[in-house]
Chain A
């Protein structure tokens, strides 16, 4: 029985094919993971900016009454004060240790961050009145402007 000698291509071709497929799979995995990372990052950024900006916007809109929106110095930077004159309490929104806090307290009482609830992560919080009816709030997630129906005499 004569043993036939195999040509080198018989070994080389499958190896080349295997390497090629392996490279393709590797590229696909890297590409897919990059895309997935980008997608999740951008989704998180969208959600985070929506949470903070929509919360601020809706909180101001719900308290939009005469002299109900004010800006006062808070524990760390300025605080946005939403006053409910009829009920005798106020909602204070401010940043404390890079967290956006909401504190509900009686009118004129001192700040008590230990009683505040966290809304979300926020490193920058700067409210100001651009005009007496236009409140602007700059955060690290973006700037939100809110048109108020009433003139705010308590603005600083």
Chain B
């Protein structure tokens, strides 16, 4: 009789332990997911700020050369740049984000001025996830 009681106690304890471990695993997964989401939210906020600054530099400069200069990249013949930037959008060797810019300038059909199109993409350096991408256009008078 006593042996039966002990066995049922052990079985119940084992089941309880298993249930508890399952709950622990679920909670740990939830905590990890919450932390990951929080880090992603921070990255999205920062990447949105970087994109806003880049677009402001694009619209606030009068020529492609001025734009590249404002971005801290020496103007050359290549229309694209891949920069490692920090949260402020400043070029930094150990920055958290990779900013890819592609500037395409084409002459208007009527020969008056040019159309500039800037494609922008922001990725995280750690996992290469694309956080933000957009395209901006503006008219450059002659």
Contacts and interface: CB of A to CB of B under 8 A. Distances in A.
Interface of A: 4, 10, 13-14, 17, 20-21, 24, 27-28, 31-32, 35, 38-39, 42-43, 45-46, 49-50, 53, 57, 130-131, 133-135, 138, 142-148
Nearest to B32: A35
B45 interface: yes
B35 A38 contact: yes
Given A31-B28, A130-B60, 15 more contacts: A14-B13, A17-B13, A21-B17, A27-B24, A28-B27, A32-B31, A42-B41, A45-B42, A46-B45, A134-B57, A134-B60, A142-B46, A145-B53, A145-B56, A147-B56
The A interface is mostly helix, strand or loop, or mixed, namely helix
Contacts of A43: 38, 41
A25 B39 CA distance: 25
A7 to B, nearest CB: 9
A145 B41 contact: no
B60 A145 contact: yes
B17 A17 contact: yes
Contacts of A45: 42
B49 A53 contact: yes
Contacts of A17: 13, 17
Interface of B: 2, 6, 10, 13, 17, 20-21, 24, 27-28, 31, 34-35, 38-39, 41-42, 45-46, 49, 52-53, 55-62, 66, 70, 87-90
Contact of A133 (B2, B46, B53, B60): B60
B52 A145 contact: yes
7 tightest Cβ-Cβ pairs between the two chains A and B: A134-B60, A147-B60, A147-B59, A145-B56, A145-B53, A147-B56, A143-B88
B49 A144 contact: yes
16 contacts: A35-B31, A35-B34, A35-B35, A42-B42, A46-B42, A57-B52, A134-B57, A135-B60, A138-B88, A143-B88, A143-B90, A145-B52, A145-B89, A146-B60, A147-B55, A147-B58
